[in-house]
Structure 1
Amino acid sequence: MTDDHVMILRTIEDFMRSKYIVSIEQIARKTNKSREYISKLIDELHSKHLIWAPKGREKGFTLNFNGLDTLALIALSRRGILSFIGSKIGIGKEAEIYVGMTSEKNVVAVKFYRIGSPSMKKYVRFRDEVITHPSYLEASKRTAAKEIEALKILSLNNVPSPLPISRNRHVIVTSLIEGDPLPKIKKLERPVRIFESIINSIEMALEAGVIHCDLSAYNVLLKNNDEIVIIDWPQWVRPTHRMAERYLVRDLSNIIDFFVKRHHLIINRDKYFEVLTNKLREYRKR
């Protein structure tokens, strides 16, 4: 891929901030290149499945996730953040996670957000702004930005979560966490200690100004040393959010229900609800 190919992808991306489909003529005018030359590059990008023409070639082109991936990876590579992308190690409704390596030979996690129609409703629900022209690519960029913002806050306040390294567009790079989600572990040696660690982490995040909003046992990884790490923070809200208390109680309920049903703990849930909702109200008084 040449610099001119990258220039075309970036030009289409720039236009997509205000319109969905970009014509060859618009790209030619923006780049000061001939229509014939732009058409040739467009054909090459189209053949590599980095762009597509949803309404036919004559109407114009738009980026797809392959094209957005290419731009993000080129930027991260040029900044020395990434030198290698390895195998896929995780997949969900909103993202795919790969193992990667930095220019300094550090192994990292590389998360590609891919907001699509199944997850767009969830995306909209946790945003206050009105989305009049929902673009899956733009939503993926905003979601990545949202999660890296949370991870920066959490890391500064020692909340056990992946350490943020970098973001470009819809891709975030974090420390690689080696651990298993709690539901995949048949027996916990010290379930009470692990439960209390999760509750303490929720409280620490709250005091730092972050509520997870989508917390379940699947978002809690247990490392070999029995330390926990809480992952997947893109839906987070601040304690001042109008629905913060509801989301906080739901997060708590999910964790309590898991430990009661799976590990048969006897938990006074009202006590935990009262402590943490009081913490929430105290935060709002600051």
Structure 2
Amino acid sequence: MKLDAKAIRYLTSEDFRVLAGVEAGSRNHEVVPTPLIVQLSGLRGGSGVHRSISVLAKTNLIAKVKNAKYDGYRLAYGGLDYLALNAHQKQKCIYSVGNQIGVGKESDIVVVAHSSGSQRILKIHRLGRISFRTVKTNRDYLRHRNTGSWMYMSRLAAMKEFAFMKALRENGFSVPEPIAQNRHTIVMSLIDAFPLRQISKVPRPAELYSELMDIILELARFGLIHGDFNEFNILIKEEEDPDAKGKAPANVDDENDENIRLVPVLIDFPQMVSIDHANAEMYFDRDVNCIKRYFQRKFHFVSDVPGPSFADAKKNLLKNPGKRLDVEVEASGFSRKMARELEAYMKEVGVDGDAGAPRDDEEEDDDSEEEEDGSEEDHSDDGQPEEETGPSDSLDDSSRRLEELRV
């Protein structure tokens, strides 16, 4: 499902009230009855509601369910996207929408802009995309959950990521700046960087490797384990290193490489867990081993020093206690119950981060994508689940100006 904002300019405030009514009804109904939509929209006169329903259905924001026992509609991906986009526009977080620059298994990444002209990233969580795939192999899946599950779980994923990003940013970690969160979406700063997996060489692999291992330990010192720490979810910024000038060896072909400092930036936090989690050691070791394997395969670098162990992390936590960000995030509103629900859902639908994603030489063809309802969407691992594809030079010429829309 690709975000297409062009139809939003034709929607009225009444249309959005009806769309919000369908969303509210989806929490308890797989197919929301038309009379209930009329009631939840709070609009007088059924004819106006039916006109809005017709408009929303034509723009694929809601869908008529075939062979349903009663007359009703369900909320489509696009409908939830428009509700979130409308909320961000009202809060002055987004002024225009540009290109989609990343497609992942669980999210889409779109470049947007503020009214000041500064570019930002809109991340759209799409956990429902995975659940539609697993319906094919697990027919019992939908018997125990209504269609509101993918909306609720995608919202939980956005809430969790926003909460952890905010806590990490406030405590000095190199992460994008979280700006706003609404429903299943997050607005964050755009980082002028590229994912580690797109970088063919680094001037000093040992230095970058050591820094990444230090980040894993520093997260543990604050009570956190990333859970999906790999080349897909680490952005690399290039900064000039003034201390390195004039120190490059004479046999180095490109002195500029020696004057560049690579700064890692962490992204993608829906799978982050507490160091007290029952499977914390497994997640910690997986993070460490992902980096080890990648550096050996891509940069032909193997460290002489064994990677940090979970026992080392626990000792570091006791010797140098920092703020417990896992506790702080829980206190901020993302409860332990929510975390358990999200974790159970992600396991049920087979979400396991990018640790098992195809390697650079094993990537699948992008043309093998299917459409939304009950079928597979675009999971080509050419797409990066986060901002991995880096910044866009400019917004598309056809950027949609949300301020001018009649909403």
Structures share fold, TM-score greater than 0.5: yes
CA RMSD after TM alignment: 2.5
Give the letter aligned to residue 152 of structure 1.
Answer: K
Give the letter aligned to residue 12 of structure 1.
Answer: V
Match of 1:127 in 2: none
Match of 2:22 in 1: 12
The equivalences for 1:175-194 within 5 A come to 175-194=189-208
Q: Extract unaligned runs of 5+ from structure 1.
A: 123-130
Distance 1:231 1:139, change over 3 A: same
The equivalences for 1:98-137 within 5 A come to 98-118=110-130, 132-133=144-145, 135-137=149-151
Distance 1:101 1:117 in 2: 26
Q: Is the 8 A contact 2:131 2:150 kept in 1?
A: no
The equivalences for 1:220-235 within 5 A come to 220-225=234-239, 226-235=262-271
Distance 1:76 1:56, change over 3 A: farther
The equivalences for 1:136-215 within 5 A come to 136-215=150-229
Match of 2:44 in 1: 33
Q: The residue matched to 1:154 in structure 2 has which SS?
A: helix
Q: Post-superposition shift, 1:9? A: 0.9
Q: Post-superposition shift, 1:20? A: 2.1
Q: The residue matched to 2:224 in structure 1 has which SS?
A: coil
Q: The residue matched to 2:273 in structure 1 has which SS?
A: coil
Q: Extract unaligned runs of 5+ from structure 2.
A: 1-10, 135-142, 240-261, 325-407
Q: Post-superposition shift, 1:243? A: 1.1
Distance 2:304 2:54 in 1: 64
The TM-score normalised by the length of structure 2 is 0.63
Identity among equivalent positions (%) equals 30
1:67-114 alpha-carbon deviations (Å, 9 max, x no partner)? 011111111001111101111111111111111111232211111111
Task: Pick the structure with more helix per residue.
Answer: 1
Match of 2:32 in 1: 22
Match of 2:55 in 1: 44
Q: The residue matched to 1:194 in structure 2 has which SS?
A: helix
Give the letter aligned to residue 63 of structure 2.
Answer: W
The TM-score normalised by the length of structure 1 is 0.88
Give the letter aligned to residue 256 of structure 1.
Answer: K
Larger deviation, residues 266-275 vs 107-116: 266-275
Distance 1:191 1:149 in 2: 32
Q: Is the 8 A contact 1:5 1:41 kept in 2?
A: yes
Q: The residue matched to 2:225 in structure 1 has which SS?
A: coil
Distance 1:209 1:164 in 2: 20
User: RCO higher in 1 or 2 (8 Å CA, sep ≥ 6)?
Assistant: 2
Distance 2:267 2:119 in 1: 17
> Matched residue pairs, number?
277
